[in-house]
Structure 1
Amino acid sequence: MSAVEEEKYCVSRTVPTRRETRSVSVGPVAIGSDGHSLVCQTMSTTDTRDVEASVAQILRCKEAGADMVRLTVQGLNEAKKAAEIRAKLDAEGVDIPLVADIHFHPKAALLVAEAFEKIRVNPGNFADGRKKFDEINYDSPEEFEAERAYIEEIFTPLVLKCKEKNRAMRIGTNHGSLSARIMSFYGDSPSGMVESALEFAHICRKNDYHNFVFSMKASNPVVMVQAYRLLAAKMYELGWDYPLHLGVTEAGEGEDGRMKSAIGIGALLADGLGDTIRVSLTEDPEFELEPCRTLAALGREAVGPERREKAKLVPSYDDSTTRSVVSFEKRRVQIPSSIHNDRISALHRDGSVISVVEDLSSSSEQELYARLGLRTAVGMPIRDVASSDSIFLRELPVQKNEKRILGRLAGAGVGILVPFDKITADDTYETLIALVDADDYSKSDFRLKAARLTGLETEETLAKLVDPVFAVLDIDPSLSQLHASRRIFHILKTRGATFPVIHRLAYDARAAKAPDSGLLRKDLFILRMGMDGGSLLVDGLGDGVMVDAPFDLDFLRSASFGLLQGCRMRNVKTEFVSCPSCGRTLFDLQEVTAQISERTGHLPGVTIAIMGCIVNGPGEMADADFGYVGGAPGKVDLYVGKEVVQRGIPNEVACDALIQLIKDNDRWVEPTHDSEEEDLLAAA
C-alpha cells in the first residue's frame, strides 16, 4: 500500500462525518460544508444561441429543483448570447446561478464571465491540449514542469476576471479528456486527474483567488471514486479545504445510469465527501433533478446523527492497513468446488446474485424460471448469462409441486440457500446450502454450510469459521451497515480468510418508498441500493449481493446484476457510456442511444460509447471498446478504442455501420430469443 493510501482521505474512517470546507459563492447559492446543504445542479440541452429555448429550459429545471444550471459555451457566439439569457432571467426575477461549460476557448470564458456566475474549465483541453501524444518526449521532470508556464499564461486572465467579478469556478478534470502531456507523465490514471487539477488550482492560489471547487469525473464509478479520494487525501496533505462537485460523467440512461451514479456519488457521500452533485443522464435535464435530490437526501442521512450513532456502536477497528481507498483491490477468495463445478454454479467467480424467493408457487413454474433469468427447453430450466446463481428460501417447501420446482432448479445448478433450522434429515437437494450463525457454526454437520455474520462477531468468533462455503453478511440493524461490514472484512483479511462474502441488502417497505408519495418507486430504490452496495463493492469488499426488498423478483435480479456491473465486477450485458445531451450534441442522443441499445444490448463484456460531439468523444473512448461520436451535423465518426476508424458516416446508416464494425472485430454474437420466457414476463 502506498503512502497516500494510508493518509487521511475523509474526516473519519469509522464515524461518518461531513468533510469541512470553505464556502464558495455562486451568485446567491453557497457551496461548501459551512452550514450549507448539498447543492443540486443540471445542464441544459438547448443551443445556447437560442435564448428563448434556453431560458424556458432553465425555468423548467429550476421548477424541478435545480439550484444552478450549466450551459455549453462553444465559442464567442454562445458567450455573447449569455448576457441576453442572464438579462432575460433577471427581468423575470429569476436569480438562479448559471454556469458556463468551457472547452478549448479561453476567450469565450473571459467574455461569458461578464454574465454567468460560474465558469467550468476542463484542464485537459483549456490550455493543456496543444500537443499530441506522439509530439511529447520529456527527458526529465524539469521539461514537464516547463510546460506549466504556458498554462499559467493562458489561464491567469480568467482567474483575474473571476476574482474581479466575484465569479466562481469549477476546475473539472475528466478521466476521458486528460491532456497528452499529463498522460505522458502520469498515464491514464486517477493520479493524472488529480495532478492536472492541482496545476490549475496552484495558479488560482498564486493570484489569491479561492472561490473555486474541484471535480474528478469518470464514466467508470470505480475510477471516479478513486480519483476523488486521492484528491481529498492530497488536500488534507496540503491543508486545503475546497469543496467537491460530484458526478459520474456519461452515466447513461434509465436504471443503469441511475445505478452508476448512485455507486460513485453514493460511495463518496457515505464518507462525508461532496458538496454539490450532478447526475448526468441521457435524458432531459429536468429528469436529472429527482435522482439528484434523492442522492443528496441519502448523503445527508449517511452523515446524520442516527447513522453516526449506529457507527459508534460498531466495535472498534482500524482498516487503514487492510483497505485500499484509491485502488481497486478485490480480496482473494476461493469458491469451493462443492458449489462451483461443471454441474453446480451456486456462486460466480466474478460476483454472485442470490435471489430471495418468497413463495415458489406464487406464479407459474415457467414464469418463476423467467424471473430468475433462466432459459427453458421443453419446460426445463437452463442457466443463462444473467441467471440468479442461487435462491434463498425462508422455508423449505412441503407441497409436491414446489418440491418438483426446487428439484429442477437444483438440477440446473442453481444453489438453494435456507436457514439451518429449517432443514430436516430427509432434505436431499444436491445444492442445498444451510445458513448458520457464526457462533453456532460448529453445531452443523451438514455437507454445505454458509455462515451468517451480523457485524457483532468478535475476532475470536470469526477465527473459528473454518472453510464455510461462503458467508452472508447480514448486518444487525442497530449498526451502520457500511462500517460494520468494513470491520468484518478488516478482520477476515488479517486472518487470511478466503471464503466468499455475500452482502444481504435488506429493505422494508418504508425504506423502499418515495418520501413524497409513499409509493414504491423502483427508480429511486435503485439509488439507495446502489449507494449501500456500491460503497463496499468499489473497495473490492464483497463477492455478491442478496437484495431483500418489496419489489418483484426479476427487477431485483436485474438491479443486482446492474450493481455488480457498475462496480466493474461481472458483465452480463453491454456497457454503454452515453453522454447527456447539451448544446454541442450533433444528433438526437436519446433516440440514437435507444436504437443502439436495442440492437446491441446483448453483448456482455462489450462497452460502447455514444457521444453527441467531439469534446468528450475520443476521451471517453478510454473506457470503451467502440465509439459512436457526432463528428459533424448529420455525420457520425466510429472508433475502436480511442482511434477513429471511419469518418463522416450519415446518421441514417451509422447504427448499421457500428454493428458491422463490432462484427469485423470479432466481438459480435447473435442474440438468443426465448419467446416463451419473453411472453411470460410481458404478461406479468
Structure 2
Amino acid sequence: MEKFQWTRRVTSPVKVGDVTIGGNNPVVVQSMTTTSTNDTKGSAEQTRRIVEAGGEIVRLTTQGVREAENLYEIKKSLGTMGVKVPLVADVHFNPRAAFAAAERVEKVRINPGNFVDPGRTFKKIEFTDGEYAEELIKIENALVPLLDLCKEHHTALRIGVNHGSLSDRIMSRYGDTPAGMVESAMEFLRVCVRHEFNDVVISIKASNVLVMTETVRRLVAAMDAEDMHFPLHLGVTEAGDGEDGRIKSAVGIGSLLMDGIGDTIRVSLSEEPEQEIPVAKAILRHIDEVSGASGDYVMNGYIEDADPFVCSRRKSAWDGRVTQVVGLDPINDETKDGIWADLNGDWGLEYDKISARHDAVVTVTADGADWALKVKSFVNGMSARGIENPVIVAKFYDIVSFEALQITAAVDFGYVLLSGIADAIFIGAPDVTREELNRLSLNILQATRHRISKTEFISCPGCGRTLYDLQSTLKEIKAATSHLKGLKIGVMGCIVNGPGEMADADYGYVGAGPGHISLYKGKECVVKNIPASEALPRLIALIKEHGDWVEP
C-alpha cells in the first residue's frame, strides 16, 4: 500500500496583474459582479465591496466590444476609489469582445464551447475524422491571434468549460459527459502549449457536484499525461443560495482541495457577490488546518476494476442507501451490534477487533482537523483486508456556530462520501440543535447525491446578463415548489447560463429578454418568451401537466 502525505498539486504560476495563481502561492479567492458592465459606477461600487470582503480578483460579464471597452472606465473609477484589483472579462459567443478586453484587463475568460463553435445548435451531429481535424484547425487559427495579443499586453487567459455548453463537435464524439468537457479544454490547451503561451488558468464546472469533481480529476489526469501544469480554478456552478448553496459549494470545492487540487476558487451564490467571499475563506481556513495537521496515510482505494474518477460505494454488508444517524453514544463501545474504531490509537488493533466480528456495524471516528483523511485511509485499509463491515463515519466537532459548522462539516463529510467509504454519517456539535444537525446531514447527503430528501434548486449567481430580479424570483419559486421532493428546478438569469448549464434540471425558468421568461422541460424549451408576471403560475402549470406536482 502506498504511503500518502497531504501535498498540493504542483502547478505553474500565472500572473494576473499583481496576483499570482498557482505555484507555491496561497489559493486565490475571487467573485463576479452582477451589474451591467456598461454601468461604470455600479460595477465599480460592487467591485469595491467584493474587495473589501476579501476578494482578490473580480470578473465582469463582457457580452460585446462596448462592454469590453467600458472595463477601462471601470478600472479608472476603481483607481479614484483607491481600489486596486485585477479584473477579468467573461466572454461568451463573441471573440471580438475577447480581443478588445485583452488590451484593457488582466485576464480574459473564454468558453471553448462557444469561442469558435456556435454552441449547441444540433445542426450537425456527425463529423468524419477529416471534418473533425478541420474544426481543430479553425480553433487554432482563431485562438492564436488572441494568444499573441495576450502576450503583448501580459494578459492571462482562463479557459473555462461548463457542463452543458459543449459544442456540437464535442457532443458528436463524447456526448455531454466529463470526458467531453475534458477534451474540450485539452483542445485549447494543446494550442497554447504549441505556441508557448503559458499564462493560462483552467476551470471545468458543473452544477452537479459529482460531475464537477469527476471532471476536474479527469482533467488533472489528462494534463499530467501530457506534462501540463496549468493552475485550476474551482467552482460549483448554479449552486443556489442560503444553506444549500454554501453546502453544495463546500462539498465540491472542498473535496478537491482536500486532495491538493485547486489554485483559485469562486463560490457561486444567488446572493450579493460579496456574500460569496466569507464562504470561500471559511473553506480555505479549514483546508489550511487539514494540511497543517496531516501525517502519512494510506489513501488508495481498493475497488477492483472501478473507475478511479467516479464515486463508487465500497463493498460492504450494508445494502441500503447512505443515511444519517440521529444519535451515537461512545459509551456503548462493545455492546449489541456495534464497534467503535478509535483512530487515535493503534490501527492494527482496531482492524483485529473488527475482523473478529464481521456482523458488527463499525463506527469510525478520530480527533484532529485531518479527520477525513484519517477516516478515508482507515476504511480503505479495511477494504484492503477484505473487511466488509458496514461503516458509520462520525465526527464530534467543538464548533459552536452553526454557520461555521456547515462549511467545515460539508468539506469533511463531502470528501468521505465522494470517496464512497461511508454507509452512514453522524455529525455532533455542542450548542447546535439536533434539528440543525439532521438538516445539515441531509443537505450534505443530497449535495453528494447519496440521498434526495427535498427539491433541488439549480440557480446561477446572476451577472450583467441577468434579465430579471433573480434573487427575489428564486425566493418566490422556492416558496411555491420546495415541497416537491426529488424534483430539480433550474432558475437561470439568461440563455448563456440557461439551457445548457441547467441540463441536469427537470424544469427550467430562464431569462429570455428584459422582463420575459422561457420555461423548459428538461432540455426542451416548451414555453417561450412570456411576461415575467405570468412565469411562476405557468411553471406550476407545466409541472402539474407532466404529473410531477403534489399538493403541499
Question: Is 2:488 the partner of 1:607?
Answer: yes
Q: Which amino acid aligns with 2:160?
A: G
Q: Given the superposition, is the C-alpha separation of residues 479 and 554 from structure 1 closer, same or farther in structure 2, using an over 3 Å criterion? A: closer
Matched, 1:465 2:357: yes
Q: Is 1:319 equivalent to 2:332 in the alignment? A: no
> 163-172 vs 492-501, which deviates more?
492-501
Q: In structure 2, what is the Cα distance between the partners aligned to 1:615 and 1:521? A: 38
Tell me if the contact between 1:247 and 1:279 (Cα under 8 Å) persists in the aligned partners: yes
3-state SS of the aligned residue for 1:622?
coil
Contact 2:251 2:447 in 1 (8 A): yes
Provide the residue aligned with 1:493 in structure 2.
383
Q: How does 1:551-590 map to 2 (within 5 A)?
A: 551-590=432-471
For residue 453 of structure 1, what is the aligned residue in structure 2?
A: 341
What is residue 474 of structure 1 aligned with on the other side? 365
Task: Output aligned runs, 1:273-292, within 5 Å.
Answer: 273-292=261-280
Q: CA RMSD in A?
A: 2.0
Aligned counterpart, 1:352: 323
How far residue 451 of structure 1 moved from its aligned partner, in angstroms, is 2.1
Segments of 5+ residues of structure 2 without an aligned counterpart are none
2:290–2:370 CA contact under 8 A, matched in 1: no
SS at structure 1 position matched to 2:502? helix
Contact 1:505 1:547 in 2 (8 A): yes
What residue number does 1:381 align with?
Answer: none
1:217 and 1:151 map into 2 onto residues whose CA distance is: 21
CA displacement, residues 592-641 of structure 1 (integer Å, 9 cap, x when unaligned): 11011111111121100100000010112321111100011111111111
Distance (Å, rounded) in 2 between the aligned partners of 1:605 and 1:479: 33
Provide the residue aligned with 2:236 in structure 1: 248
How far apart, in 1, do the equivalents of 2:409 and 2:377 lie?
20
* 3-state secondary structure, aligned to 1:637: strand
> Could you say which residue in structure 1 is the equivalent of 2:551?
670
Map of 1:361-510 to 2, 5 A cutoff? 391-392=327-328, 394=329, 419-420=331-332, 435-436=333-334, 446=336, 449-455=337-343, 456-458=346-348, 459-468=351-360, 470-475=361-366, 477=367, 480-508=370-398
Shift of 1:539: 2.2
Shift in CA distance, 148/486, structure 1 to aligned 2, threshold 3 Å: same
1:56-71 → structure 2 map (5 Å cutoff): 56-71=45-60
1:521 and 1:478 map into 2 onto residues whose CA distance is: 18
C-alpha separation between the residues in 2 aligned to 1:92 and 1:191?
Answer: 45
Going from structure 1 to structure 2, the CA distance change for 1:67 and 1:645 (only over 3 Å counts) comes to same
Measured at CA, do residues 262 and 209 of structure 1 come closer, stay the same or move farther in structure 2, by a change above 3 Å?
Answer: same
Whether contact under 8 Å (2:286, 2:369) holds in the other structure is: no
Structure-1 residue corresponding to 2:189: 201
SS at match of 1:467: coil
**2:314 corresponds to which residue?**
331
Q: Shift in Å at residue 569 of structure 1?
A: 0.7
Q: C-alpha deviations, 1:319-361, integer Å up to 9, x for none?
A: 366675411212344448xxxxxxxxxxxx3221112xxxxxx
The answer to whether the 8 A contact 2:311-2:420 is kept is yes
Structure 1's unaligned 5+ residue stretches are 1-5, 7-11, 337-348, 356-390, 395-417, 421-434, 437-443, 513-519, 672-684
Residues in 1 aligned to 2:64 and 2:368: alpha-carbon distance in whole angstroms: 55
Tell me how far apart the structure 2 counterparts of residues 535 and 108 of structure 1 sit (CA, whole Å).
39
The farther-off stretch of 208-217 and 141-150 is 141-150
Distance 2:162 2:120 in 1: 18
| SS of aligned partner of 1:647 | strand
Q: Give the Å deviation of 1:238.
A: 1.7
Could you say which residue in structure 2 is the equivalent of 1:646? 527
> Does residue 121 of the first structure (1) align with residue 2 of the second (2)?
no
Q: Quick check: 2:323–2:423 contact (8 Å CA) kept in 1?
A: yes
Contact 1:82 1:116 in 2 (8 A): yes
- Match for residue 617 of structure 1? 498
Aligned partner of residue 616 in structure 1, secondary structure: coil
Please state how far the C-alpha of 1:216 moved relative to its aligned partner.
Answer: 1.1
* AA at the equivalent of 1:42: S
Given residue 354 of structure 2, which amino acid in structure 1 is its aligned partner? L
AA of the residue aligned to 1:112: A
| Equivalent residue letter for 1:612 | G
**Alignment match, 2:66:** 77
- Whole-angstrom distance in 2 between the partners of 1:241 and 1:319: 25
Q: Is the 8 A contact 1:325 1:539 kept in 2?
A: no
After TM superposition, the score normalised by the length of structure 2 is: 0.94
Q: What secondary structure, in the 3-state scheme, does the structure 2 residue paired with 1:648 have? A: strand
> Which letter maps to 2:321?
D
What TM-score, normalized to structure 1?
Answer: 0.77
1:166 maps to 154
Q: 1:149 aligns with which of 125, 137, 146?
A: 137
Q: CA deviation at 1:142?
A: 4.3
Q: How far apart, CA to CA, are the structure 1 residues paired with 2:6 and 2:496?
A: 37
What is the CA-CA distance between 1:197 and the residue it aligns to?
Answer: 0.6
Q: 1:264 aligns with which of 252, 275, 278?
A: 252
Query: How far apart, in 2, do the equivalents of 1:524 and 1:24 lie?
Result: 31
What SS does the aligned partner of 1:227 have? helix
Contact 1:102 1:109 in 2 (8 A): yes
- The 8 Å contact of residues 150 and 157 in structure 2, kept in 1 or not, is answered as yes
Equivalent pair of 1:133/1:184 in contact (CA under 8 Å): no
Distance 2:352 2:133 in 1: 53
Give the share of equivalent positions with the same residue, in percent.
Answer: 42
Give the deviation of 1:530 after TM superposition.
0.4
Paired residues in the alignment total 546
Residue in structure 2 matched with residue 440 of structure 1 by the alignment: none
1:102 to 73, 77, 91: 91
Contact 2:120-2:165 within 8 A present in 1 as well? no
Q: CA deviation at 1:122?
A: 1.0
1:119-149 deviations in whole A, cap 9, x for unaligned? 011111111235633522124x443233111
Change (3 A) 1:136 1:496: same
Equivalent residue for 2:7? Answer: 17
Change beyond 3 A, Cα 1:573–1:596 = same
Does structure 1 retain, via aligned residues, the 8 Å contact 2:109–2:160? yes
Partner of 1:678 in structure 2? none
* Pairing partner for 1:535 from 408, 411, 415: 415
SS at 2:425 equivalent: strand
CA distance in 2, matches of 1:567, 1:544: 13
